[in-house]
A = this chain, B = another copy of it.
Amino acid sequence: MTVQESGAEPRTAGMKDVAAAAGVSLGTVSNVLNRPDRVSPATRAKVEAAMAELRFVRNESARQLRAGRSRVLAYVMLDGSNPFFTDVAAGMEDAADAGDLSLFLCNSAHQPAREAAYLGRLEQQRVQGILITPVDPDAPLLGEIAHRGTPVVVVDRTPGGTSHCSVAVDDVYGGEIAVRHLVEQGHDRIAFIGNHTTVGQVRDRRLGALRALRAAGLGPDHLVDLTTTALTVADGRGAGERLAGLPASIRPTAAFCANDLVALGLLQTCANLRMNVPDDLAIVGYDDIEFAAAAAVPLTSVRQPRRRLGRTAAELLLAESEPGHEHRQVVFTPELVVRASTLH
Contacts of A105 in B (CB 8 A): 80, 104-107
Bound together, the chains give a CA A121 to CA B242 distance in angstroms of 51
**Chain A, 61-93, CB within 8 A of any chain B CB:** 61-65, 70-72, 74, 80-81, 83, 86-87, 89-90, 93
Q: Are B83 and A126 touching (Cβ within 8 A)?
A: no
Contact assessment for B109 and A90 in the assembled complex, using a CB-CB cutoff below 8 Å:
yes
**Chain B residues near A58 (CB-CB < 8 A):** 124
B295–A11 touching, CB < 8 Å: no
- With an 8 A cutoff between CB atoms, is A47 at the interface? no
Measured between beta carbons, the chain B residues less than 8 angstroms from A144 are 55
Q: Are A59 and B126 in touch, CB under 8 angstroms?
A: yes
Q: How distant is the Cα of A96 from the Cα of B295 in the complex, in angstroms?
A: 35
- Asked if A107 meets B80 with Cβ closer than 8 Å, knowing A61-B61, A65-B59, the reply is no
Interface string of A214-238 (1 = CB under 8 A from B): 0000000000000000000100010
* Complex copy number for this chain: 2
Which of A129-137, A190-198, A262-270, A279-287 lies at the binding interface?
Answer: A262-270
- Are A102 and B117 interface neighbours, CB within 8 A? yes
Q: Of residues 233 to 292 in A, which have CB atoms within 8 Å of B's CB atoms? A: 233, 237, 264-265, 267-268, 271, 290-291
Quick one: closest B residue to A9, CB to CB? B149
Given A104-B106, A268-B296, A90–B80 Cβ distance below 8 Å? yes
Is A35's beta carbon under 8 Å from chain B?
no
A64 in complex: contacting residue of B61, B87, B148, B233, CB < 8 Å? B61
A237, B291: Cα distance in complex, Å: 12
Task: Tell me the complex Cα distance, A58–B124, Å.
Answer: 6
* Minimum C-beta distance from A3 to chain B (A): 17
A291 touching B271 in the complex, CB below 8 Å, given contacts A90-B109, A105-B104: no
Q: Does A57 contact B (CB under 8 A)?
A: yes
- When C-beta atoms are compared, the residue in chain B nearest to A264 turns out to be B294
Q: How many residues of A contact B (CB 8 A)?
A: 57
A294 touching B126 in the complex, CB below 8 Å, given contacts A81-B83, A83-B81, A102-B117: no
Query: What is the 8 Å Cβ interface bit string for chain A, positions 31-74, against chain B (1 contact, 0 not)?
Result: 00000000000000000000000010111111111000011101
A214 to chain B, nearest CB (A): 34
Does chain B have a CB within 8 A of A321?
Answer: no
Distance of A270 from chain B, by nearest CB (Å): 9
A297 within 8 A of B: yes
Partner of A297 from B237, B271, B297 at Cβ < 8 Å: B271
Kindly state whether residue A12 has any CB partner on chain B within 8 Å: yes
Q: What is the CA–CA distance of A197 and B291 in the complex, to the nearest angstrom?
A: 26
Contact residues in B for A104 (Cβ distance below 8 Å): 74, 104-106
Digit string of A290-313 for contact with B (CB within 8 Å is 1, else 0)? 110011111000000000000000
Q: A59-B124, A61-B64, A105-B106 are in contact. List 16 more A-B contacts (CB 8 A).
A: A57-B123, A58-B124, A59-B126, A60-B61, A61-B62, A65-B65, A71-B121, A81-B86, A83-B83, A102-B106, A102-B117, A102-B121, A105-B105, A268-B295, A271-B297, A296-B297
**A-B contacts, 14 listed (Cβ < 8 Å):** A12-B148, A55-B144, A61-B70, A61-B125, A62-B65, A71-B121, A80-B86, A80-B105, A81-B86, A93-B107, A93-B109, A97-B114, A104-B106, A271-B296
